[in-house]
Amino acid sequence: MKFQKKIKNKLEQTFNLLELTYPPSVDKTLEKDIAQLYKDDNSKDFKILVKTENKNNDKVEDKEGNYKEIPVHKFILLARSGLFRELFVYVNEKDNINKVQDYTHKTIESLETLIKYFYTDSIKLKADQDPRLIVDELYDAVEYYQLNDQCNFVNELNKIKKQFDLN
C-alpha cells in the first residue's frame, strides 16, 4: 500500500509541475482531440458548398466549379447544430449525401469561422478579416443553425465586438 501511495504522490507532483490536473480531465482531453480534428482534412467526411463570387462581389451563376467546398466532420455538424441534425434525419439514408449547399453566408470567411468554432468553442479572427462583417453574419447564423450553445457563441461574438470596438 505504501508503494502505491508513493507512486500516486509522485504522479501528482509530476502533473502539478506540468500544470495538469490529476487524474487527467477527460473533458479537456476530448476538447483538445476535437480541436485537433479541425486540422485533419483527410478524415473529414462531409462538405458544405459555398457559392464563390466574381471580382464585382456578384454571385456567380450556378455552373459546375463555382462553389468552394468546406470540408467538415459530419458528426461535428450533428453535435453542434440543430439545423444539420434535422437535415440528416430528413434526408433519406439511401441518398447518402455528403455535400450540402449553404445559402446564409455572404462570405466564405464567416462560414469558415463558424465551422472552426464548432471544433474549438472559440472565435478568433485573422488579421485580413473584416470583423464587422464576420460578426454581423455570425449573429444571423445563431438562429439559423440552431446552435446548441447559443449563449457561449453570443459571448464569443461579444468578445470580438468589444475587442474591435464594434457597436
Tens-level pLDDT at each residue, the chain (167 residues): 666 677 777 767 766 766 665 555 656 788 888 999 999 999 999 999 988 765 555 554 544 557 889 999 999 999 999 998 888 887 766 577 788 888 777 788 999 999 999 999 999 998 899 999 999 999 988 888 999 889 999 999 999 999 999 87
Tracing cell 440543430 back to the chain, one arrives at 82
**pTM more than 0.95:** no
pLDDT of residue 121: 92
Domain made up of 38-163: CATH architecture: 2-Layer Sandwich (3.30)
Contact yes or no for 35/120 (Cβ under 8 A): yes
- In the chain, the amino acid numbered 6 is K
β-strand partners of 99: 47
Q: What stretch(es) of the chain map to CATH 3.30.710.10?
A: 38-163
Backbone torsions φ then ψ of 47, nearest 5 degrees: -130, 140
User: DSSP code of 149?
Assistant: T
Strand 46-51, strand 67-72: pairing: antiparallel
